[in-house]
């Protein structure tokens, strides 16, 4: 798994999600976020900088259909029907 830290911030009258990118700085660019291998590593920085630890969602070619509805990775950008 991979994790990152996010929080919301008001920027020019708009609420935006910002991502911790390391070195005491934040970004609005998702791809520039600092990625942690372990949740506890992200949590350690969380206590210093605030925000929320979020699990990165990645494409899983071996995803299983846990609820039997024929769809895997539901609710993510990788949602798809299972091959039959």
Identify the CA nearest to 43 among candidates 2, 9, 4, 1: 4
Task: Give me the residues paired with residue 80 across strands.
Answer: 72
How many structural domains comprise the chain?
1
| Phi, psi for 16 (deg, rounded to 5) | -125, 150
pTM of the predicted protein model: 0.65
pLDDT by residue, tens only, the chain of 84 residues: 689 999 998 878 888 899 999 999 999 998 999 999 889 999 999 888 889 999 887 788 888 888 889 988 877 778 899 874
Q: How far is it, in rounded angstroms, from Cα 29 to Cα 16? A: 11
Which structural domain, as residue segments, surrounds residue 9?
1-84
Task: Give me the residues paired with residue 4 across strands.
Answer: 54
């Amino acid at each position: 798994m991979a994790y990152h830290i996010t929080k919301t911030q008001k920027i020019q009258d708009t609420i935006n999600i910002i991502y911790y990118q390391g070195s005491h700085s934040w970004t609005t660019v998702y791809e520039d976020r600092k990625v942690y291998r372990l949740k506890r590593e992200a949590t350690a920085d969380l206590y210093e900088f605030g925000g929320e630890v979020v699990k990165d969602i990645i494409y899983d070619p071996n995803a299983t259909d846990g609820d039997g509805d024929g769809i895997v990775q539901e609710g993510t950008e990788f949602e798809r029907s299972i091959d039959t």
